[in-house]
Amino acid sequence: MAKKKIIAGSAKATRRKSRKKASAIQARRKKEFLYRGFTMEELLKMSFDEILGLLPSRARRTYLRGLNYEQQFLFDELKEENSGVIRTHRRDLPVIPVFVGKTVSVYNGKEFKDIEIKPEMIGCYLGEFVMNRKTPQHSGPGVGATRSSKFMPLK
């Protein structure tokens, strides 16, 4: 039998490889953040009423009905320019553009978890970013198990 010489590839394949290399080299450009078509600078220039019009209905209703004393206190703390880390139990305050860049420690029922407010969080509640439930960790079958699964073989 004659040995066949293996060719590295067709011209079409080499062109395809060079295109892939060229596209992989280009750095990915970071997309500018938009919230409902507005940039972060435009959101910060808007009045509070204009921002409320952009928020989802549940968050908008929270602000329109008025904040209670604790929510209002947290709202005022977050609006301040020079505030550091703010610890709070209030999980029910919707994020607005003025809060972006601040760090808040939110209580999850056991401990305080630090979250840095990012532009993607606008319109969501603070409690959505701090989980307060753990997934259950089950062991093997025990009392009350069915007869077929009650007996576990020993290793």
- State pLDDT tens for residues 118-143: 999 999 999 999 998 888 888 776 66
Write out the E strands in the chain: 34-35, 38-39, 86-88, 103-107, 112-116
Q: Report the alpha-carbon distance of residue 155 to residue 131 in Å, rounded.
A: 37
Please name the residue that has the structure tokens 């407010």.
Answer: 117
Query: Tokens in use for 131?
Result: 């989980």
H or E element at residue 34 = strand 34-35
Could you tell me the fold of the domain covering 34-129? 30s Ribosomal Protein S19; Chain A (3.30.860)
pLDDT of the residue at 142: 65
- State pLDDT tens for residues 47-87: 999 999 999 999 999 999 999 999 999 999 999 887 789 99
pTM above 0.95, yes or no: no
User: pLDDT band for position 152 (50/70/90)?
Assistant: low
Please name the residue that has the structure tokens 């401990």.
Answer: 111
- State pLDDT tens for residues 5-26: 555 568 888 888 888 777 666 6
